[in-house]
Structure 1
Amino acid sequence: MAGALMLPKAQNTRDIDRLPSGVPVLPLLETALGVLQSREICSAPAMVRPVFGSVDLAAELDVDPTSHQALLHARSTLVLAAAAARCGAPVDGVTTTFEDEHALIDDTAHAR
């Protein structure tokens, strides 16, 4: 998407409201507070779709970032928030073990 801004560490709609008017936003939800506020964030007028910051959230929660189970609730919360707000579906977190082809395939299949 051309002309959109990815907003790191988005935690509330005020973070989005501070941006220039008319700029489409992809908020990076990578903290517990950001995930818990995702319903409001996804309803912001400039919102395109949420982006899941799985690695930073895993670090905050002190869980394994490669564990699908440990971050399942957060992922599901973003899916529900995006659907309720009728914005784009979330972009899933990154795969940090890109040299491991099996992990990459597994993460890609899980994100679908």
Structure 2
Amino acid sequence: FVFKSLIGTCFPGCEIPALFKHQALGEILKVELLQDWNEGRFIGISLCVVVSFKEYKDNNNSLQVKCTCEFNNVSISPESFIVGGWSEPGDAPHRVESDHVFIGYT
């Protein structure tokens, strides 16, 4: 099974859309999958992350939000993919004043 980020978007905001039923505060979200999750019915993963940018200055003018999926009791190595991000030209530090919602589907 190979993860490839197919769709990603980000926008100002701080609310996770209602379609994301499994939620956690912090950097870890544990979800119990059905035993037969990988028998043809599993088509992808949608993720949503809210990032707070209080007093954030970006000296690189780019940002990536990355997710690593780890599966227990399955012979699949941890896989990482980019949920979203941005890159802007120029050398001046970039300031982000508001929280942002990042949504990715793989």
Judge same fold: TM > 0.5, yes or no: no
The answer to which structure has the higher strand fraction is: 2
Higher relative contact order (CA 8 A, sep 6+): 2
TM-score for both structures, normalised by structure 1: 0.28
The answer to which structure has the higher helix fraction is: 1
TM-score for both structures, normalised by structure 2: 0.29
> Quick check: which has more Rg, 1 or 2?
2
